[in-house]
Amino acid sequence: MLFRSLDDRARGSVMNSAEYESNTCLKQKESAFKQKLKPKRLPVYDAPAAAGAALPLLTDDYAMDWAENAPDDASFGIKIRGDSMIPVIENGAVVWVKKQSTLEPGEIGIFILNGESLCKRLEYRNGGCYLISENSAYNPIRIYDTDELHVAGRVILQ
């Protein structure tokens, strides 16, 4: 109602202001979107983590790669070898990992167990700590007091 009561000059001024504000808002949204998609370089370990039998631990054998699809909180990527985490993680997939030293029960992580790397789900049951495969063909791995277990990080599922 107010707009209709304005003369042509005032209407033109309002329209110019509205167009300017609209373009500014659009540019800000576009900039934020591009920032989200901005690829970053992350280490991707060539020595895979096992989803099955354990493999030698994470080493300095990695390539810095452009991680266009990596989540913002990813610290590194690692190639998964084996079928024990199917259907959640496929054999040969690169998973993104947030480096951290602890996990909550139920989270999937990269573990170093007695010097070998594994990709498993952490669970506590019957008073014990277990590393669990998603594939029911694999038995849970019980962690004993004599084992040396380190968490390399939490797998970030997308």
Residues involved in catalysis: 84, 120
The token pair that represents 91 in the structure block: 């054999």
The pairing of strands 40-50 and 76-81 is parallel
| Dist. CA 74–CA 107, nearest whole Å | 15
Q: Which residues make Cβ contacts (< 8 Å) with residue 107, sequence separation at least 6? A: 121, 122, 154, 155
Helices (H), the chain: 8-37
Cβ atoms of 50 and 114 closer than 8 Å: no
